[in-house]
Amino acid sequence: MTRIDRRGLLRGAAATAGVTLASPYLARRAMAQGAGTVNIFAWAGYLNDEILAAFTEATGITPNFTPYGTNDELLNQLRANNGAGFDLIWPTVDRVPNYVEFGLVQPIDEARVEVARVLPSAWENSVNLGAVVDGARYQVPTDWGTEAVAFDRDQRPLDYGTASYGDIWNDGAQATVRAHSALIGLGLWLEAEGRLPRPLLDAFTSPEAQTEIFDVILAEAVARKGNVIQFWNNENEAQGAFRVNGANVGQTWDSTAATLAREGLPIGFIAPREGALAWMEGLSIPTGAENLDEAYAFINWFLTPEAGAMYTNATSINSTAVGSDQLISDEARAFFAAAYPEDALEKLWWWPIQESWYVTKRNEYQDRFLSA
């Protein structure tokens, strides 16, 4: 599996730092026309009023933002619409082949993308992570982040090097997890303990291997299910587990912990010794998109350093825009440093491509865990 880290992602920044990041032709043309809309279906919390207003000010285009909470929600909605209804969607890169399989997204016209604005390593590594299918690119990488261990600093303090996915499942945990990804986190802990029958990555290679591995993980998860006080499926649910339901540890997204910390809660976020689950996301264009000029204008604008930094400051998710890391807030910079100290970036565990057969079987194990 291709492994990339933030240092690798940023390695290409210096090489492209001299590139002039002027407004792209499409954005200038849309601004000159003074009209146009773009319909964006994206993760809840990704596009706030400040970001949307800045895009309109730069381009003259009116964005219509519809939020969703999970990859499956996005896929199911697009399938119900037969690829229509939106001009841009924001799936994780490992799920892009699912959209291609069902004919829901169209190839990216790379001639219309300001490729120099994307960190070269993100552009290149996204090929093997799912953005390119049968030689055609279906996604422009825009951001990356992780799912790791969120913890209450007062009730359950954790430190890098000893912090583990096992802290979610051991005595004293009042945990919140997302069922399907928690099985992977638990699997990484069991693998590190020498308790899996074969490497966890084999689960993504065939249904037979997935069954052999997930049978072991599920048995352990069911035995330790009493530690889980709340399951989450989206950002709001994960945050609520800490705000109101008494969670003192959990396997959550980076943005979850960052939001809670900004509210003044004593919530930290740390990469476990087994490696934080890393994902890359990007913008894809559905087959039924009606506003192509505006869609490409948004892609190119979002990859400016200013837009990338605005996004990171709002979410604590890392932009792939060249130069954006130089403009982020001290708060965002401090969160990143605390979450990924020492060798944490070298140990990131990047989600492999999740083929449809894998997702189907994964959901079966998830349901068995939830109903146990």
Architecture of domain 6-144+279-347: 3-Layer(aba) Sandwich (3.40)
Give the helix ranges, DSSP H, for the chain. 6-11, 13-16, 25-33, 49-59, 71-80, 96-101, 120-126, 166-169, 179-192, 207-223, 235-243, 254-262, 292-302, 305-315, 330-339, 356-371
347 closest CA partner among 121, 131, 118, 160: 160
Residue-wise pLDDT for 69-88, tens only, equals 999 999 999 999 999 999 99
Q: What is the DSSP string of 15-60?
A: HHTTS--PPPHHHHHHHHHT--EEEEEEETTSS-HHHHHHHHHHH-
Is the model's pLDDT at 208 over the cut of 50?
yes
Candidate from 1-15, 70-84, 231-245, 262-276 with smallest mean pLDDT: 1-15
pLDDT tier, 325 (very low <50, low <70, confident <90, very high otherwise): very high
> What CATH number has the domain spanning 145-277+353-371?
3.40.190.10
Q: Is the dihedral of CA 223, 367, 359, 248 positive or negative?
A: negative
CA distance 68 to 44: 5
Is the model's pLDDT at 16 over the cut of 60?
no
Q: Apex CA 122: angle with CA 106 and CA 251, to 5°?
A: 95
The model's pTM: 0.87
Q: What's the pLDDT at 35?
A: 67
Containing 269, the helix (H) or strand (E) segment is strand 267-270
Q: What's the pLDDT at 304?
A: 98
298 closest CA partner among 42, 85, 53, 38: 38
* 6-144+279-347 against 145-277+353-371: fold identical: yes
Q: DSSP secondary-structure letter at 113?
A: S
Q: What's the pLDDT at 10?
A: 44
CA distance 112 to 136: 15
CA distance 322 to 326: 9
**What mean pLDDT is reported for the chain?**
91
Residue 318 phi/psi, 5-degree rounding, is -85, 130
SS3 182: helix
Q: What's the pLDDT at 9?
A: 52
Residue type (1 letter), 364: E
Q: Where are the domains of the chain?
A: 6-144+279-347, 145-277+353-371
CB-CB neighbours of 265 under 10 Å? 16
Question: Terminus-to-terminus CA distance in the chain, angstroms?
Answer: 32
